[in-house]
């Protein structure tokens, strides 16, 4: 590692220590492997140790840029929040589980990157931060692909997003004390190899809006003004349906309350076919989006559906850290599963965007935070 990258490493870690000390303590206090047990994936003593090893792997690759280095640092920020002790899958004993830490880590990743950008440490673009968030959300689900050749569609046919994810996977494996002859490690290595082959024939291109033209265009995100403003910008005068409560879609699928929505969609069928209709809703999980898309397809089976997930800064949790915190992160940390064409078959196109500063000057991090 050259001197310039050593200096960057020092700046990043020092900034994390000073801006989010409780998160650092939580990362250090969370065991990566249950004491006295073994793991095929990790034998590092803590999530902090693993994170530093992954960061080092990214810094040592001179062809990896700031986007890749930042992804390596933030990808496991939500592990302390999701840490659970469970029975071992094989034999007796216990193991550590971090189910769901990818999607729960999206918001902390976004906020850290924005704060580091404001501090002049990580001069990242909004597009780069959106890819970092996507990789954070997806880095475990990537291993669950039914076919490794679908890696590109998993990243919504965005070669730049796949490149960021693949580079994270490389660093994640380099930063793990794993059983390199084990079935799990070798299987993950094969998935990574196929994905890299797919990337070799792809030239990353700028991704434009997916909500243009005819169709039903979902605009999703956490509750707040960012999603609403983004919806109005994308609509540009087109018809828009605002869904206030989508909780019923999460587990049981569309209920009778959504019959009215289906009727409204059919009423808008002419506009849908001519110029497109936007639907603004929370829909931050895959199950909720799939339930709604199933309903929409029943109403208008021949109409394409797109999805734009809108990311935005959380209201000043970082770096001022208002209470209450739990395991170094806010208790209301949202679960943000990025859309994926590989797992959401009703979607024709999907994209993740970062909408910043929608609440006016000084809204993110507060005007007095420096």
Which has the closest alpha carbon to 94: 46, 39, 40?
39
Place of tokens 């679908």: 150
Domain positions in the chain: 3-200, 216-354
CATH of domain 3-200: 1.10.3210
Beta strand pairing status for 84-87 and 94-97?
Answer: antiparallel
Q: Over range 212-227, report the average pLDDT.
A: 90
Q: Over range 165-173, report the average pLDDT.
A: 93
- The pTM for the full model equals 0.90
pLDDT band at 93 (very low <50, low <70, confident <90, very high): confident
Residue 5 neighbours by CB under 8 Å, 6+ apart: 59, 60
pLDDT tens, residue by residue, 242-286:
987 666 666 555 555 566 777 788 888 888 899 999 999 989 999
User: Residues 184, 40: contact at Cβ < 8 Å?
Assistant: yes
User: Residues 150, 194: contact at Cβ < 8 Å?
Assistant: no
Residue 277 dihedral angles phi and psi, to the nearest 5°: -125, 135
Indicate if the pLDDT at residue 360 is higher than 50: no
Residue 319 neighbours by CB under 8 Å, 6+ apart: 18, 19, 20, 115, 365, 369
- Whole-angstrom distance, CA of residue 24 vs CA of residue 74: 11
Q: What is the rounded average pLDDT for all residues in the chain?
A: 86
pLDDT tens, residue by residue, 290-328:
989 998 998 889 999 999 999 998 854 444 444 567 777
């Amino acid at each position: 590692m050259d001197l310039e990258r050593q200096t960057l490493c020092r700046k990043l870690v020092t900034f994390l220590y000073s801006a989010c000390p409780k998160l650092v303590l939580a990362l250090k206090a969370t065991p990566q492997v249950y004491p006295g047990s073994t793991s095929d994936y990790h034998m590092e003593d803590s999530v902090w140790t693993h994170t530093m090893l992954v960061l080092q792997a990214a810094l040592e690759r001179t062809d990896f840029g700031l986007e890749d280095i930042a992804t390596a640092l933030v990808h496991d920020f939500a592990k302390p929040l999701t840490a659970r002790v469970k029975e071992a899958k094989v034999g007796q004993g216990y193991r550590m589980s971090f189910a769901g830490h990818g999607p729960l880590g999206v918001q902390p990743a976004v906020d850290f990157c924005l704060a580091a950008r404001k501090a002049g440490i990580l001069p990242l673009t909004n597009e780069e931060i959106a890819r970092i968030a996507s990789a954070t959300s997806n880095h475990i689900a990537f291993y669950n692909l039914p076919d490794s050749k679908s890696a590109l569609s998993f990243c919504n046919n965005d070669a730049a997003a796949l490149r960021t994810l693949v580079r994270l996977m490389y660093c994640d494996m380099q930063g793990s004390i794993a059983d390199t002859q084990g079935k799990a490690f070798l299987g993950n290595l094969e998935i990574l190899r196929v994905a890299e082959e797919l990337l070799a024939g792809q030239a990353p291109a700028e991704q434009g809006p997916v909500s243009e033209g005819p169709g039903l265009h979902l605009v999703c995100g956490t509750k707040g003004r960012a999603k609403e403003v983004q919806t109005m910008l994308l609509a540009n005068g087109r018809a828009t349906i605002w869904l206030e409560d989508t909780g019923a879609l999460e587990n049981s699928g569309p209920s009778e309350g959504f019959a009215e929505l289906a009727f409204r969609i059919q009423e808008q069928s002419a506009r849908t076919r001519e110029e497109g209709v936007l639907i603004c809703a929370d829909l931050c999980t895959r199950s909720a989006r799939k339930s709604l898309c199933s309903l929409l397809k029943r109403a208008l089976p021949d109409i394409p559906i797109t999805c734009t997930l809108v990311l935005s800064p959380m209201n000043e949790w970082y770096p001022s850290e208002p209470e209450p915190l739990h395991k170094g992160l806010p208790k209301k940390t949202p679960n943000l599963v990025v859309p994926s064409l590989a797992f959401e078959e009703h979607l024709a196109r999907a994209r993740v965007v970062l909408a910043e500063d929608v609440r006016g000057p000084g809204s993110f991090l507060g005007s007095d935070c420096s």
